[in-house]
């Protein structure tokens, strides 16, 4: 008996410590609905700790804000009922096994109606389970889509397809640029993006003189830049790299005295990059992610309520935290809300049908088609317009919206070829 008593005491101690921790971290706890209101839970399954946390945790926090705003506004209106929203998150540590455990927990224990994911290597087993359970799930990486992932949608990001728009714009507006050097991070973001840029450069008649990957554990980017500049390219293409890598690569390009054109997928926190380099250095850089206070975000085709105000609010609440992924998760949640209200139900399959109705949907940058059959074997990515953004006088400025499907109809074969070659 004695040893059991002690064991129990030990466990009680642990439990008390953990309970204290929960109390201490209550500011990080999800919104808990009060009273007898109906509640709908949405799941967030992504890496909240570890290397990749930067791509998910800010998005989870943005979803918490979104949920607070929706609840403050009376919740989601389904028929005569108002549903309060609760975000339930599970840290999958970006591991496939933890992801599967989390997927089952969210669906079977928490009874969530939608699961938001970052996507990538953690996804396959979890998404397979979602499909079996007829659970609606979303990803930021359309490369997760396969013919079998029936209810897995890419409603916001169509990475890396939109990168073709920047290259096309560059070829039309700066035809004197003839050669490009590409460096890319060696992971599931980098590879498909390289295939896309290779296809886009080929379509634009630009020679790729350097094309290599760097390890995602890279700490020093000087060698990467030295190797690229040794080829004297007209264009340096940073492919799709983590925002921090883009920052460090730009700094190195500046320090190693590069003066040519730069094209990148993202340019988060370009203000800081300018601070490390110079306004003149970054001038003219082409990328794909606008600030939401851009006047061109107020054009009628944009499906995002008050983008300018959202941008200002967001920056007030989370100074220095604006990045591509932070708006994408709540944008998806918001799309889901509209679809649920239209369907009159929060049930996954009803919302799924409502989202996919008519084969078109309200993408942030304009109504777009559910597309992807030709590339991923399933029409589950919302593809349409995407902005080409240029740094002008130190400010991100949308120079044009271009249609991705138009490009595909002209050059789709090139992309298929390069995708196959890149593996």
Q: Which residues in 45-74 contact other proteins (CB under 8 A)? A: 48-51, 53-54, 57-58
Q: Minimal distance in Å, beta carbon 277 to other proteins?
A: 8
Nearer to other proteins, 11 or 74 (CB): 11
> According to CB under 8 A, which residues from 114 to 173 bind other proteins?
120-121, 124-125, 128
Closer of 107 and 154 to other proteins (Cβ): 107
Judged by CB under 8 A, which stretch of 75-83, 152-160, 210-218, 409-417 contacts other proteins? Answer: 210-218
Residues 372-401 that bind other proteins (CB under 8 A): none
Could you say which of 12, 16, 21, 413 contacts other proteins (CB under 8 A)?
21
Please report, in angstroms and rounded to a whole number, the separation of the first and last CA atoms in the chain: 62
- If one asks whether residue 31 binds other proteins (CB under 8 A), the answer comes out as no
One residue of 31, 186, 296, 400 binding other proteins per CB under 8 A: 186
In this complex, which beta carbon is closest to other proteins, that of residue 261 or of residue 277? 277
d(Cα 106, Cα 125) in Å, to the nearest integer? 14
Distance CA 196, CA 159 (A): 10
Q: CA 266, CA 264: separation in Å to the nearest integer?
A: 6
Q: Closest separation between CB of residue 193 and other proteins, Å?
A: 13
Number of residues that bind other proteins (CB under 8 A): 78
Determine, following the binding rule CB under 8 A, whether residue 316 of this chain makes contact with other proteins. Answer: no
Tell me which residue has tokens 């108002």.
82
222-230, 284-292, 329-337, 357-365 -> range binding other proteins (CB under 8 A): 222-230
19 is a site residue for other proteins (CB under 8 A) = no
Candidates 80, 176, 305, 320; binder of other proteins (CB under 8 A) is: 320
Residue 215, interface with other proteins (CB under 8 A)?
yes
**Residue 296 contacts other proteins per CB under 8 A:** no
Strands, sheet with 38-46, edge to edge from the N-terminal-most edge strand? 76-78, 81-91, 38-46, 115-117, 137-138, 152-153
* Residues in CB range of 99: below 8 A, 6 or more apart: 45, 92, 122, 123, 125, 126
Token pair 């224990």 in the structure block, residue: 109
Helices 163-173 and 404-422 meet at what angle, rounded to 10? 110
Does 276 bind other proteins (CB under 8 A)? Our answer is yes
Nearer to other proteins, 107 or 140 (CB): 107
| Distance in angstroms (rounded) separating the CA atoms of residues 224 and 222 | 6
- 144 alpha-carbon distance from chain centroid: 13
Is residue 16 a contact point for other proteins (CB under 8 A)? no
Using the minimum distance from each CB to other proteins, give the nearer residue, 302 or 331. Answer: 331
Q: Which DSSP category does 237 fall into? A: E
351 in Cβ contact with 343 (< 8 Å): yes
Q: Strand 286-287 and strand 360-363: pairing?
A: unpaired
Contacting residues for 207 by C-beta, under 8 A, at least 6 apart: 178, 179, 180, 201
Q: Which residue's CB is nearer to other proteins, number 9 or number 174?
A: 9
- Is 108 an interacting residue with respect to other proteins (CB under 8 A)? yes
Q: How far is the CB of 244 from other proteins (least distance, A)?
A: 4
- Minimum CB distance to other proteins smaller for 48 or for 340: 48
Instruction: Tell me how far apart the alpha carbons of residues 205 and 178 are, in angstroms, rounded to a whole number.
Output: 7
312 binds other proteins (CB under 8 A): no
């Amino acid at each position: 008996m004695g040893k059991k008593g002690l064991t129990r005491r030990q466990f009680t101690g642990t439990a008390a410590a953990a309970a204290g921790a929960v109390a201490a971290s209550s500011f990080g706890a999800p919104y808990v609905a009060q009273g007898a209101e109906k509640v709908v839970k949405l799941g967030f399954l992504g890496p909240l700790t570890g290397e990749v946390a930067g791509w998910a945790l800010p998005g989870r926090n943005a979803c918490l804000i979104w949920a607070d705003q929706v609840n403050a506004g009376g919740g989601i209106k389904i028929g005569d009922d108002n549903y309060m929203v609760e975000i339930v998150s599970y840290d999958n540590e970006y591991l496939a096994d933890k992801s599967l455990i989390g997927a089952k927990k969210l669906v079977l224990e928490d009874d969530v109606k939608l699961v938001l994911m970052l996507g990538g290597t953690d996804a396959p087993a979890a998404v397979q389970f979602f499909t079996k359970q007829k659970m609606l799930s979303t990803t930021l990486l359309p490369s997760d889509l396969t013919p079998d992932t029936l209810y897995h949608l890419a409603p916001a990001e169509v990475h890396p397809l939109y990168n073709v728009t920047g290259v096309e714009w560059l070829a039309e507006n700066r035809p004197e640029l003839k050669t490009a050097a590409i460096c890319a991070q060696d992971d599931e973001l980098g590879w498909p993006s390289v295939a896309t840029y290779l296809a886009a450069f080929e379509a634009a008649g630009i020679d790729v003189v350097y094309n290599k990957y760097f390890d995602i554990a890279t700490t020093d980017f000087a060698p990467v830049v030295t190797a690229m500049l040794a080829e004297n390219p007209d264009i340096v293409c940073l492919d799709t790299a983590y925002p921090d890598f883009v920052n460090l690569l730009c700094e190195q390009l500046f320090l190693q005295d590069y003066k040519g054109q730069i094209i990148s997928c993202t340019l988060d926190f370009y203000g800081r990059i300018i601070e490390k380099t110079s306004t003149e250095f970054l001038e003219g850089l082409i990328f794909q992610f606008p600030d939401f206070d851009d006047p061109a975000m107020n054009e009628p085709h944009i499906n995002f309520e008050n983008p300018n105000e959202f941008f200002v609010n967001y920056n007030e609440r989370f100074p220095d935290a604006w990045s591509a992924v932070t708006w994408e998760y709540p944008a998806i949640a918001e799309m889901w809300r509209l679809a649920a209200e239209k369907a009159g139900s929060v049930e996954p399959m009803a919302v799924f049908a409502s989202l996919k109705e008519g084969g078109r949907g309200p993408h942030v940058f304009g109504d777009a088609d559910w597309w992807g059959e030709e590339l991923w074997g399933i029409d589950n990515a919302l593809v349409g317009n995407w902005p080409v953004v240029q740094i002008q006088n130190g400010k991100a400025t949308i120079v044009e919206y271009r249609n991705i499907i138009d490009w595909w109809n002209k050059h789709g074969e090139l992309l298929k070829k390069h995708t196959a070659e890149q593996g």
